[in-house]
Structure 1
Amino acid sequence: MTVKEARDFATHTMRAWGVTARVEDIRLCVSELTTNALAHGAVAGQGFVVKMKAAPGMLRIEVHDSSNCRPELREPEDTETSGRGLLMITVLSDDWGIEDRHPFGKIVWSVFKLDESPVAFESESTGDPS
């Protein structure tokens, strides 16, 4: 799965669920979390999973990968060309965090409060880092 495919999955899923608020914020966070999983989290041959969960008044995105290495929020120098992904997640989402994934790996998630109230849904898409 590519970053574009993850974004497209998010767009299609939100459309199917009737979510119209904060679509671009959610798409950008999916892009950032997926980019991190591809660059730092997916162990060769293990891939990653993107999950979306909706409940009344909220939407949660999760990226599951096979690495136990946790990302750290950084404040990069103005001249650095990377390291701003989690800062963007912090600004665009209402909450985010990291959970252990068993038997190995981690889940990096972010939550978005919505004015609309989609019914409860869950969907996932798998990705192969190759």
Structure 2
Amino acid sequence: MPQQLTVDIARDRTAPAAARRAVERFDSLAADVVPDVKLLVSELITNAVKYGSDGEVTLILTSEAPDHVHVEVVDQGSGFVPVARARPKTEPGGWGLHMVESLTQRWGVREGSTHVWFEIDRRSA
């Protein structure tokens, strides 16, 4: 039976740390999955705080097995279209979605929203 945790996070400078603490409380994950989830959640929550609208950001974690997790970050922003990083590698910032793509098996954005999701699935890795 899948385990799920939903947390509403205040849109302020403490949001990434609050999201990481939520991942730590979600004890359904294997220890080797947790660092990647914490890193990616921090990036997506930071983007939601920086670019989203007012209101809380919602973090949803769902796990079918210790080495699988589906994560959603939802805010009330107007949406965006993901684009590849076009800046030189020496410029800071803009690595969040690149990391999501590199560390996950699947990810996406719900059309017309700022609802980003990803899955880490190491069951068959």
1:125 is matched with none
Contact map agreement 1:89 1:96 (CA 8 A) in 2: yes
Q: Does 1:3 align with 2:16?
A: yes
Q: How many residues align?
A: 109
Query: Of the two structures, which has the highest relative contact order with CA contacts closer than 8 Å and spacing of 6 or more?
Result: 1
Q: Which of 54, 60, 66 in structure 1 is aligned with 2:70?
A: 60
Aligned to 1:99: 110
Structure 1 stretches of 5 or more lacking a match? 117-130
After superposition, the C-alpha distances for 1:1-42 in whole angstroms (9 at most, x for unaligned) are 3101101101211xx22532321111101111111101112x
Identity %: 27
State which of 84, 90, 99 in structure 1 corresponds to 2:95: 84
TM score, norm. by length of structure 2: 0.76
* Structure 1 outlier segments of 4+, above 2 Å: 18-21
Change (3 A) 1:18 1:83: closer
Taking structure 1 as the reference length, what is the TM-score of the superposition?
A: 0.73
8 Å CA contact 1:99, 1:106 repeated in 2? yes
Q: Distance in 1 between matches of 2:29 and 2:42?
A: 21
**Given that residues 75 and 83 in structure 1 are in contact (C-alpha distance below 8 angstroms), is that contact kept between their aligned partners in structure 2?**
no
